[in-house]
Amino acid sequence: MALAALQHVATVRPVASVVRIDPRTDSCIVARRSLIELYKTSQPFGEINWLSSCWDITDALRDKIKGYTARKRALVHFTRHREVGQRIGLPFPEEDDLASVIKAFACRQHVLNGVTAARHMVYIRAWRYIVGAMRGTDIAQVTPATFNSAALAATREKSSSAYTVHGALEAIADMLDELRLTKVPLRWRWVKKKRGKGYGGSKQIRLGQAPDTDRRASDDVVYAVAQLYRIVPKTKWADRICVLLATILVCTGLRLGQVLCLRAEMPAFDEATGEHFIRLVAFKRTDATRKTLLSETVGLLNDVFRELLEITEPVREVARWLDKNPGRVNLPKPDNSDGTVTAARLRTWFGLSTGAFKRRLQTWGFAGAAIPLHELNERLLRDRFDKPVVPGTRGEQLLLKDCLSISFVSAMKQTTAALKHAVRPIGEQHVSDRLRGRQLGDGRSRATIFDRYSLTDSQGNPLSTYTHGFRHKLNDALDKGGAPDVIQAQWFGRANPRDNKAYQYRTHAEMRERARDMLIKGQLNGRFATLLSQVTPECRKEAAESMVQVAHPISGGYCLQNFAQVDCEHCGQCLDECMSFHWVPGETDRQDEVIAIRDTISRKLNVMLDKMSPTERQNDESFSRLRHQQNFVNQILKSMEESKVGEPNKT
């Protein structure tokens, strides 16, 4: 009965249709088998071998996740924790349909909300702890105690990883309850779940407070990148590529993923706006198609892009050849009519040392003085990269031959030589390993590019940074320079200006000093500005210091109310004629924020006008407050316009 109830929703996307198991099903076994049969039949990931313990979901994610890149194959491993000496863990047990339930859960997550392979593996890690805590029992016998044991075992991971696993455990418990796969309702939550100290996200940050963790690249790191730009030679191909990409990160604040997906072209100039920009491909949730360049960085970035195009042109030439010759890799022409090439000539063509070439031949399965090119071609086909770097429609996708950041096979590795028979995109790991370093196990680590070129900070300490640290650094510079939240969000490609909070590091003292300075210069309008205008110029600095004890940045200006001394009677109603609110008429960029607020108020008023009679509107306190807010916002906009014009129109 349950299976029949589910068949009609096998291909339907809405949540209510996909996840519902027949509530009349009393048997956990029947519900479980119905769930498995549903996703075995619908195949939301496409044609995949259900019995396999490793699923390649690259093609499924291409159409599900916006801006998804095919830089790496997206693999999900349905395996248990590795034992000592194992490269990969054993598959989940098939007894009592446990492995199939886990695979059905992955299918269900993909249908409800497409996530990356990395996120799928977070759920797999949670399942591994559950399977370990189950100790061979049927999943129908799972109790909250089982989840407690799993959550306790997960605490062995570092705090940020344990936090994500605990969240995944809660999601799995909710799924088991919703689909009635256990005999006992779980209703489980891990009460000890706690965000790690270094866990990102704006939820940690209070209003007006700098983030606890400073993720900005230090000044020493930025100076070191500038030094590397001058001293790293082109003969060190991989290091030079890394330095050029890091320079783009410093100057643009782009994410590393966006930089690696840039097209092989120079920055362009828009004559209509007078802006220099680089074209972008779709990335994450933003629809930005171009990145405007800061005027002071245009010359440097032109040099960087010109050099990148120059040193990657031989790679791109091979990529174009591979695009025209599917099913083949780039190899030298045969020496003889039998289609063979001598090992000595092949070694010279690859540019490998004798020892390295000998090891390569052993890996490829060849020996002797003559190498058959046809067989070698078949062995090396696995190194071809045939997918688009960024999938999409014809005008949106990015092909390998059109990508700026590409390299020969193994060219970006520090311990191996480049193999020019195939071309691959440069991965994020290649760049981050050089900037951050990498732990290799047994206490060993890979040196950063700063260490290898003997660059340290001012105290002589080693340098390292996350690639995202440059984005934090540039955002902080713009924020402290006075760029409004709307401009920050637009320039950095964020959909919501509130997301800027995770990138802002202004302290209370810095915000207070900025508000005082703007008040003295006449760049703030409000009660304190009126009082300060009556003070003699030589005394205004002392007066501003006594007036402004605290400053809270909000849309359109600052709130100068000191909440520690006096509670604000207009808390949350800054635009309702609050005397503590001071707006910024001189910063016309903030006008967009105030216009957005005015439009929101107008929409609310229109809804109330449609639903309320004149008498009701006259006696309604909410309607009157919105009217006051609308009048006050219009007053602010009027002062902004007057400040922008500066004098009467001469038209």
Q: What is the pLDDT of residues 333-345, one digit of tens each?
A: 888 788 888 888 9
Contacts of 139 (CB under 8 A, 6+ apart): 32, 96, 97, 98, 101, 176, 181, 182
Task: Calculate mean pLDDT across residues 366-381.
Answer: 88
In terms of DSSP bridges, do strands 406-409 and 419-425 run parallel, antiparallel, or are they unpaired? Answer: antiparallel
Helix (H) or strand (E) holding 54: strand 54-56
Spatial distance between the Cα atoms of 169 and 189, rounded to a whole number of angstroms: 8
SS3 87: coil
Which has more pLDDT, 506 or 556?
506
Give the pair of three-digit tokens for residue 509.
Answer: 């003292």
> For the chain, what is the mean pLDDT?
81
Instruction: With a cut of 90, say whether residue 157 has pLDDT above it.
Output: no
Instruction: Provide the percentage of residues in the chain whose pLDDT is more than 70.
Output: 82
Question: Which stretch, 108-112, 114-118, 176-180, 401-405, has highest mean pLDDT?
Answer: 401-405
Which has more pLDDT, 529 or 146?
146
Q: What is the model's pLDDT at position 623?
A: 76
Q: What is the model's pLDDT at position 304?
A: 96
Q: Is the whole model's pTM more than 0.85, yes or no?
A: no
Task: Calculate mean pLDDT across residues 110-127.
Answer: 88
Q: What is the model's pLDDT at position 626?
A: 76
Which has more pLDDT, 314 or 514?
314
- Among 284-288, 550-554, 644-648, which is the least confidently predicted range? 644-648
Comparing CA positions, the residue from 485, 475, 440 lying closest to residue 592 is 485
Neighbours of 443 (CB within 10 A): 6
| pLDDT tens sequence across 413-465 | 877 788 989 999 998 989 999 999 877 666 677 889 999 999 999 898 999 99
Contacts of 270 (CB under 8 A, 6+ apart): 276, 277
